[in-house]
Structure 1
Amino acid sequence: MGGYMYILRCGDGSYYVGSTRDIITRLRQHQAGEGAEYTRRRLPVELVFVQPCESIVQAYWFEKKVQNWSRAKREALINGELHLLPGLSKKTFKRSGSGE
């Protein structure tokens, strides 16, 4: 049985990342305020991305990966701008003090 990784845009503009076996039922639950605590407090919600997966395990793995992404990286995925993902993965560190 397959699964889905999905992203919702919440009423406050934030994103919620989840996984499920039944995307239609899960979306209805979120929209009715019966989903996760996070989305219940941020209604209404809109489905902005869904990725079919071979299994619920794969969907859950993808969910956990995307949950750690920045907003910019999530938006690149939502917008289908996959070519931007590698650049958005690079971390930049500011050096404090000159020390030289």
Structure 2
Amino acid sequence: MPKELPTQNKPWFLYLIECQDDSIYTGITVDVKKRYSAHVSGKGARYTRIRPPQKLLAVIEFKDRASAASSEYTIKQWTAAQKRAFAQKHSLS
């Protein structure tokens, strides 16, 4: 049985979630589907436990955690309007 790759060899993903109060949550992970499910079930970040997710807006792939974390930090400084504009350019649909 093959071993799972260490996370440093996997791509990392930055994701944006629209919450029920119309705010935008930004996070990073190696498994977007699993992480989004955690947010929806109330087991994700405290932010999304208080403001439940409404929909996943965007997902962007990065080659490593450092790149994803750097972009996450930058995007977290933006207004909700700036995050929405960014999400439209990287839409899932």
Alignment gaps of 5+ in structure 2: 1-9
Alignment gaps of 5+ in structure 1: 82-100
TM-score between the two structures when normalised by the length of structure 2: 0.81
2:35 matched to 1:23?
no
Helix, strand or coil for the counterpart of 2:89? coil
| Equivalent in the alignment of 1:39 | 48
Tell me by how many angstroms 1:72 deviates: 2.0
| Equivalent in the alignment of 1:5 | 14
Bigger CA radius of gyration: 1
Query: Aligned partner of 2:21: which letter?
Result: D
Question: What fraction of aligned residue pairs are identical, expressed as a percent?
Answer: 31
Q: Does the CA contact (< 8 Å) of 1:4 and 1:52 recur in 2?
A: yes
* Matching residue within 67, 86, 90 for 1:58: 67
How far apart in 1 are the matches of 2:84 and 2:43?
25
Greater relative CO, 1 or 2 (CA 8 Å, sep 6+): 2
Deviates more, 1:61-70 or 1:39-48: 39-48
Aligned residues: 81
Query: Aligned partner of 1:62: which letter?
Result: S
| Equivalent in the alignment of 1:67 | 76
| Deviant stretches of 4+, over 4 Å | none
